[in-house]
Amino acid sequence: MQACPVSPREETRTDRLYRLLDELRVAGPEPVTAAQLSTLLSVSTRTIERDLVTLAEVGVPVVGTAGPNGGYRLGVDRPLAPLAFTPAEAAAMAIALSGSSSGPFVEAARSARRKLIAAMSASDPSTARRIVGLSGPVVEELRRALEAQRVVVLRFRGADGTLAVRTVEPIALVTRDKHWYLMAWCRSADDHRSFRLERIEEVTVTDQPAPLRRTELEEPHLFG
């Protein structure tokens, strides 16, 4: 188990109770001590013990055992609700699953991604829309070009709506300020450029190999 970098002052008691429950889930059948939980959640042992009592009072099957190997764990006599993820955690998993384009678990990955997006649509529509936006023909062609290291021709609209065509050497797909961009070497400008994915209308992958170039992500010139 690994401590979450969340300050106690930045979360409510309800948030902490959910985190405590998650840590008990992760521990599985092995007991974890109040001292270990206090370190993971950055609160006192007394606070952990009070929170464990609260969880038990609302029906969570918390089991405590004494002795040198004792501690707390979740009982198995009652089913628990599915493990909850934050929007950021769910988004990270959905993005990772969207990159599963080969292997024996392709269909399972697609199914899991659809379920994640559906769940996020109810709780966090804006995040779900951003994840859905990271799919489709444009993204698939860019991924193919990145994997094969091929030059692509982009047809896109700038921020002012002007249609443009550029021949670029794709470098990476990155996220910044809640938007996704293609980082690339633009052959027309002979410089690094960044293109907002939602403004790219068409991608044509060529047979030309794209040379490896240094990635510059600090201050890219944004076309979108």
Q: How far apart are the first and last CA of the chain?
A: 41
How far is it, in rounded angstroms, from Cα 183 to Cα 222? 9
Cβ(142)–Cβ(98) below 8 Å: no
Domains and CATH numbers, the chain: 8-74 (1.10.10.10), 87-133 (no CATH), 137-209 (2.30.30.520)
What pLDDT, on the 0 to 100 scale, is given for residue 150? 92
Longest dimension (CA), the chain: 72
Q: 195: how many CB neighbours lie within 10 A of its CB?
A: 25
Question: DSSP 3-state assignment of 204?
Answer: strand
What pLDDT, on the 0 to 100 scale, is given for residue 90? 63
Alpha helices in the chain (DSSP H): 13-27, 34-41, 45-57, 87-98, 106-123, 125-133, 137-148
Q: Return the structure tokens found at 88.
A: 């950021």
Q: Bridge-partner residues for 170, per DSSP?
A: 184
What pLDDT, on the 0 to 100 scale, is given for residue 12? 73
What pLDDT, on the 0 to 100 scale, is given for residue 54? 85
Per run of 10 residues, the mean pLDDT along the chain (length 224 residues) is 42 78 82 90 90 82 82 69 59 60 64 65 56 68 85 91 92 74 88 88 93 56 40
Entry pTM? 0.44
What pLDDT, on the 0 to 100 scale, is given for residue 223? 40
Task: Please choose, from the candidates 182, 75, 81, 102, the residue with its C-alpha nearest in 3D space to the C-alpha of residue 139.
Answer: 182
